[in-house]
Structure 1
Amino acid sequence: MPTDDVARFLEALSPAHREEVGRKPREQQEKLAAAWEKELREDTDLDTLSELSPAAAESEAARRVVEGRS
Structure 2
Amino acid sequence: MPADAIGRFLAALDPEHREAVSGRPREEQERLAAAWERELASDDELDTLDELSPPAAEAEAARRVMDREP
Short-chain TM bin? over 0.9
Q: How many residues align?
A: 69
Structure 1 residues 5-44: aligned runs within 5 Å:
5-44=5-44
Q: Aligned partner of 1:54: which letter? A: P
Q: Give the drift of 1:20.
A: 1.0
Unaligned stretches of 5+ in structure 2? none
Q: Give the drift of 1:67.
A: 1.3
Give me the whole-angstrom Cα distance separating, in 1, the residues matched to 2:2 and 2:21: 17
Give me the whole-angstrom Cα distance separating, in 2, the residues matched to 1:68 and 1:44: 19
Unaligned stretches of 5+ in structure 1? none
CA offsets per residue over residues 11-48 of structure 1, 9 Å max, x none? 00000010111111110000000000000000011011
> RMSD between aligned alpha carbons?
1.1
Percent of pairs identical after alignment? 64
Q: Tell me which stretches of 4 or more aligned residues in structure 1 moved more than 4 Å.
A: none
